[in-house]
Amino acid sequence: MQGAEQKKMNIAVIVLDTLRKNRISPYNKEVDFTPNLQAFSEDAETYHNAYSQAPWSFPSQASLLTGLYPWQHGATQAQPFVNSDIMLLQEKLGKEGYFTGAIHNNTWMIPLTGVMKRFDETKTISDISNYFQGIWRYTQNSKILKTVRKKLFLQVSLFNTLKMERSITDLSKQIRGTERFLEKNKNNKFFLYSNLVGSHYPYRPPEEYRERHGVEKDSADLESRPVEYSGNILEEEEEEIRKLYDAEVEYLDHCFGEIIEDMKEKGLYENSLIVVCADHGELLGEEDGFGHHFSVNRNLVNVPLMIKTPENEASEVDEVMEIRQVHNRILREAGIDVPEDERGEAYGMYDRPVIYGEKNPEYDGSKALLYRGRESGDIDSKKVSIDLLKEKGPDYFFN
């Protein structure tokens, strides 16, 4: 659907994978190694209560691209692909004349899983996987095939994580690809979706960043392993892991800065809607582990979110915002009609909630909401008042 007057502006969504909110200076003034994110925040709305729909990439980014909860779009570990009948953000923008492109190095965000469909241009780790979508979906019909698929994907993931050379996943390739996309489309109306997987395990920061943060070991040399690989963190290695992570964050900030600087040089920055967010965070010793998945710890799901429009000035926003709601915000900013947002019904849902009703037009934000974060095993449901959340902050909600 098209609004009465569409805005002629470009749109860029930059997802900074696995980025903790408290490790960048817009949210923590003690951090002094993320100058580019700091500079961007001075032009943007900075959301302090933004929440991801899941503690890992696939369902979280699928929520951004669909505007739906994971139990609605279907992209979870139980079903590793998006329901085929859902129209994604790139399809909606494409219908309104945007040239759409996706450039990233995330092993989940590939054609095989259905989230890249209808992009005009893609540059991913495995674009060839587009030819195997039918087989991938067919395995969902058999318990045996689902088990084989799960074990195969886990082994491939482990290999990629521990053995893959940095040159394959180095962010510099994504930056160069982004620069080429911007150059080719600088005179067009475009939608760019960029997922920079920098601060994700295995932490392999370039040498200059290792030196700056006093890193002495590579993550492959440590005995600690992330929770998503059934590992844990050794107390004597916690400090080294934090140094590695911070070095990766500084490198990620540098790469992000290159994209923003290139947009400015090409005259694209001022008239663009630019969304910068994380799909989830990272544990760094909390819950006796590091990594992500299998938890709704606030360091995983209370994520950075900054939105710059062509008109707005910098502002600090305390209002609760879900990553899935960015979807409709983008459409509205582009002048595209969207249904009224379902606010105040089920914040942060992964599984279908026990109670999920139609929106109450008289809802005033004071009623208790049900939060259910189920990734593996059972996590107790919690009724949480949004008023209390705003009053007491994320610690009250998650602790």
Q: Summarize pLDDT for 135-163 with one digit per residue, the tens.
A: 544 454 555 555 555 555 555 555 555 54
Q: CA–CA separation, 102 vs 80, rounded Å?
A: 19
Residue 176 above 70 pLDDT?
Answer: yes
Contact 100, 191 (CB under 8 A): yes
DSSP state of 98: -
H or E segment to which residue 155 belongs: helix 143-163
| Interacting residues of 387 by C-beta distance below 8 A, sequence separation 6+ | 365, 366
Is 130 within the bounds of a domain?
yes
| Interacting residues of 393 by C-beta distance below 8 A, sequence separation 6+ | none
Is 355 within the bounds of a domain?
no
Kindly report the CATH number assigned to the domain that includes residue 140: 3.40.720.10
pLDDT of residue 155: 53
Banded pLDDT at 197 (limits 50, 70, 90): confident
When comparing pLDDT for 361 and 32, which is higher? 32
What value, to the nearest 5°, has the Cα angle with vertex 104 and ends 49 and 41? 35
- Could you tell me the residue range of the domain that residue 330 belongs to? 10-345
The number of helix segments (H) and strand segments (E) in the chain equals: 14, 12
Q: What is the pTM of this model?
A: 0.79
Q: CA–CA separation, 249 vs 33, rounded Å?
A: 8
Is 123 within the bounds of a domain?
yes
Rg (CA), the chain: 20
Is 366 within the bounds of a domain?
no
Is 391 within the bounds of a domain?
no
pLDDT of residue 363: 38
H or E segment to which residue 157 belongs: helix 143-163
pLDDT of residue 265: 97
Banded pLDDT at 353 (limits 50, 70, 90): low
Contact 310, 64 (CB under 8 A): no
Q: Give the whole-number percent of the chain exceeding pLDDT 90.
A: 47
How many structural domains does the chain have? 1
Is 317 within the bounds of a domain?
yes
Q: CA–CA separation, 193 vs 202, rounded Å?
A: 23
Encoded amino acid at 15, one letter? V
Is 382 within the bounds of a domain?
no
Is 396 within the bounds of a domain?
no
Q: For 343-352, how does the pLDDT look when each residue is reduced to its tens digit (9 = 90+)?
A: 444 444 455 5
pLDDT of residue 30: 97
Contact 280, 301 (CB under 8 A): yes
Peptide bond into 304 cis (omega under 30): no
